[in-house]
Amino acid sequence: MTAPAIRRVEPAEAARLAGFLRRLFVEAYADCSTPANVDTYLDHAFGATQQHAELVDPAHRTWVVDDGDGWLGVLQVRLPSTAPSAVDLSRPAQLHRIYLTTHAIGGGLGKRLLDTAIDTTREHGADGLWLSVWQEAPAPIAFYQRAGFRIVGTATFPVGDDPLVDWIMQRRSDAA
């Protein structure tokens, strides 16, 4: 095992990325709805075709944390992004996804991924990041709040036919 490095994901890795995202979503949110609804969401959001399309789209950026033995986390940012009306940024980017494997949580990798998102946002002229996070996920919410995000509204996040309620959070590029 080498020291974990953050690197961009290549389009040829779309199938691996899709499987990894599915695994991470299940680790984090398997209990957010019924198994059938979760499976429907996974099929919609994390197929290899969908991930390949995002990897070749210049408005999407995807990174993984790789320790040489495997992937420990993933980050996806959309630049630019159409934000919900609750977001008051004029040039927003979206923190689309940020996940870590269960055993990688708490070791500082989440902050490193978030720093990558913030740096990318600044480099591309966005004035901040917005995200949505399930209201029943206190650990991610606390992580975002420690990083300077604040709750600005709510949105519906469909998992299959289950309309979950997410917080919409934002962070200005100049936030500490």
Q: What is the pLDDT of residues 139-173, one digit of tens each?
A: 999 999 999 999 999 999 999 999 999 999 999 98
Checking 29-38 for CB contacts under 8 A at 24+ apart, the result is 29/134, 29/137, 29/159, 32/134, 32/136, 32/159, 32/162, 32/164, 33/159, 33/160, 33/162, 33/164, 34/160, 34/162, 36/160, 37/159, 37/160, 37/161, 37/162, 38/159, 38/160
Mean pLDDT of the chain: 94
**Would you say 139 and 120 are in contact if contact means Cβ atoms under 8 Å apart?**
no
- How many domains does the structure of the chain reveal? 1
- At which residue do the structure tokens 């966005």 appear? 126
pLDDT tier at 174, thresholds 50, 70, 90: confident
Range of the domain at 150: 5-172
> How far is residue 136's CA from residue 66's CA, in Å, rounded to a whole number?
29
Peptide bond into 4 cis (omega under 30): no
User: Is residue 175 predicted with pLDDT exceeding 80?
Assistant: no
**pLDDT (tens digit, 9 = 90+) per residue, 54-88?**
999 999 999 999 998 999 999 999 998 899 999 99
Q: Residue 114 and residue 98: Cα distance in Å, rounded?
A: 8
- The SS3 assignment for 83 reads coil
CATH number for the domain spanning 111: value is 3.40.630.30
